[in-house]
Amino acid sequence: MPLYLLSAVSLMTAPVMAAPSGWQLYTDVGGSYQINYPPEWQAMSRGNALVIASPGSVEERGVFGITPRAEGTTIEDSVKKEFGDPDHSADLKKVASRIAGRMATKVWGSKKGDPSIRIVEYYVQDGHQQFYILFQAPHAAMAQYSPVFNTMIGSMQFLK
């Protein structure tokens, strides 16, 4: 099993991990969650959506994103919609997961419209609120970014 999949499987049962020394802490403007990220990465928020990007050009960068979904939307509906899209990548896979103790579904494969980019998505249910979490990086760099992404998601805490 590739390292990025093996590491993600361990997140299903892992407790919240302490972030490495020097990492930044982001707290959602709505007070829903907190997450740590590397100090050289740039966090950008727009409304209640968050994007954290690594340094480097667009072609080589790793990107983490999280956004709440409309209340009442279920994980099952979101995943069904993802796989029901006729343009979805043929290599998409899914598995039940957990993030910060919450039920989730993990989806991974190539990015729709750009097979050079690897995506890992989580659809997470926190009470009545669903969150969509995305990691993406070039396929060739995913082994480099996976430990960072796994540490970020391992540090995540839901606050409500």
CA distance 149 to 37: 9
Mean pLDDT value across residues 149-153: 94
Q: What is the pLDDT of residues 47-85, one digit of tens each?
A: 889 999 999 998 899 999 999 988 888 899 999 999 999
Would you state the pLDDT for residue 56? Answer: 92
Positive or negative, the CA dihedral 51, 127, 23, 151 is negative
Question: Average pLDDT over the chain, rounded to whole?
Answer: 88
**Tokens representing residue 21 in the block:** 């020394």
Q: How far apart are CA 155 and CA 160, in angstroms?
A: 16
pTM confidence score:
0.86
CA distances from 41 to 2, 55, 102 (A): 25, 6, 26
User: How confident is the model over 114-144, as pLDDT tens digits?
Assistant: 999 999 999 999 888 899 999 999 999 999 9
* Better pLDDT: 3 or 146: 146
**pLDDT above 70: residue 8:** no
Cα distance between residue 31 and residue 160, in whole Å: 7
The whole-number pLDDT of residue 15 equals: 55
For residue 6, give the 3-state DSSP assignment: helix
Structure tokens at 155: 């540090």
- Taken in order of first residue, the domains within the chain and their CATH numbers are 3-158 (3.40.1000.10)
**What is the mean predicted confidence (pLDDT) over 82-96?**
93
Q: 89 exposed, middle or buried (CB, 10 Å; 0-12, 13-18, 19+)?
A: buried
